Amino acid sequence: MGAPGWVDHVLGALNAAVGDYLESRGNGLAVPMELREGNQAVAPEAGALRKAFPAGNDRVVLFVHGLGCTEALWAFPGRGAESYGAALARDAGITPVYLRYNTGRAIADNGRDLAHLLEAFALAYPHGLRSLDLVGHSMGGLVLRSACRVALDEGLTWLSRVRRAVYLGSPHEGAPLERFAKVAASVLRVVPDPTTRTVGDIADLRSAGVKDLGDGRIAAVAAGVVPLSDGIVHHFVVGSLAESERHVLSQLFGDAIVPLASASAVTLRGAGTPGGSLHVMARLNHLALAHHDDVYAVLKELWAKDAESPGAPSPAAGEGT
Amino acid sequence: MTGRLRGLKDLVQDAVEHGSRAVERIHRTHLRVPYEVVGKVPGLETPAKAIHTVHDGSVAVVYGTVRLVNRAVGAALGVALAAADLARGEKPTDAEAAPVPDEPSFKSPTPPPSKEG
């Protein structure tokens, strides 16, 4: 994985803030949805995929970053291009693929586009696609769930290749920070003062993607709670500010952005996900979940079974709980 | 590359356009109060109203000029970027058209699904 430059980082942050506006205006600063390899976009076509993944194999893991980031998020700090994907390629023999997208768009819009992008990818992938596993950080996990939902609704073929999904600090049940911003903007707009109201208007300029995070909304319509996809083993990795998840700091603030209950999807995990697991990572903040050795140890363990028996990875095979 | 430069130009232009309107609205609203107070003084109703009208007109001209210059500069930059495209042998991108990405990108080939639930 190559390293995106500072322009890419700035565009990632800008798109988080006003990406939906940029897209609606046809603005050239809007980040397009792309599969990435070596800091290059890879078109979902056989020739481009063969060139980008000359040593690829039939076991692919897709990494989807979160709000305001790029695929550079996955790199271990101070270790060059080393990332979960590169490490899993070395230790478990998978082929990592990274997604870059406009995080200011509605999660449902990104989910729909990702679903169709993966369909094109699955059909064109030159090494045969036996398994497609998913790893999402923060908003990325919600985009993955949304894509799975679209794939199920539309009968897309790639969904049958997905065996497991790993969510790193994804706000499945919403993020209080965004809900607070929503309330603050509403209050400011009610105050009968033009300056205060204007500040409220500016605060309300938050992108559709950010607003979706408030409730963990992954569907285009008010569909209520969208369940986790069947046939996929779901794993939740959750950050905790304190040493213990029972500590008041952890209970109140989770990983500083997403509460423990939301990231661990307490109300969603109950149904239809045998073999899934929950991992609470002590003293890890939200961003660190995307590039930390302790989290990688969890991922390595999840994929270790495949490395031991590469001939027969099967979905929902009862992974550690 | 000009796609991004054009995008930056459009974004700054939008920010100045919307920002100037917001500031103008605040400006007008805050100044309405003293004029209303002065206008309640017997004998000053008419002059206060006249001065308020002139002031509002001046405010409109000032902020209107800001927006006019903003649009003019935006248009000039748009022409310069189109010329840069032509000089590089590329087809100029229309300001209202979708940007031409520098790298391959993916857009969903189908409209949003109508399914719910």
Per-residue model confidence as pLDDT tens digits over A212-258: 998 888 887 655 667 788 889 999 999 999 888 888 888 888 898 99
Q: Is A152 on the interface with B (CB under 8 A)?
A: no
Residues of chain A neighbouring B107 (CB-CB closer than 8 A): 32-33, 113
At A148, is the pLDDT very low, low, confident or very high (cuts 50, 70, 90)? very high
> What number of other Cβ atoms are within 10 A of residue A145's Cβ?
29
ipTM over the 0.95 cut-off = no
Confirm if A301 and A320 have CB atoms less than 8 A apart: yes
Average pLDDT of A111-137?
97
Q: Look up residue A301 and give its two tokens.
A: 């363990």
> Rounded distance, CA A224 to CA A227, Å?
9
- Residues, chain B, total? 117
Comparing A57 with A248, the larger pLDDT belongs to A57
> Rounded distance, CA A116 to CA A119, Å?
5
Q: What is the pTM of this model?
A: 0.83
Q: Which residue, among B12, B94, B108, would best test binding to A if mutated, counting the most A CBs under 10 Å from its CB? A: B108
In Å, how far are A9, A54, A128, A163, A180 from A46, measured between CA atoms? 29, 11, 11, 23, 46
> What pLDDT is stored for residue A307 in this prediction?
58
Per-residue model confidence as pLDDT tens digits over A306-320: 756 544 444 444 454
> Rounded distance, CA B21 to CA B19, Å?
5
**Over 60: is that where the pLDDT of B90 sits?**
yes
* B-chain residue closest to A197, CA distance: B26
Cβ density class A38-62: b for 16+ within 10 Å, e for less? ebebbbbeeebbeebbeebbebbbb
- Residues, chain A, total? 321
**Mean of the per-residue pLDDT values for chain B?**
81
> Rounded distance, CA A128 to CA A315, Å?
17
* A-chain residue closest to B117, CA distance: A223
Nearest to B116 among A32, A115, A221 (CB): A221
Per-residue model confidence as pLDDT tens digits over A163-192: 999 999 999 998 888 888 888 888 888 888
Residues of chain A neighbouring B10 (CB-CB closer than 8 A): 25, 27-28
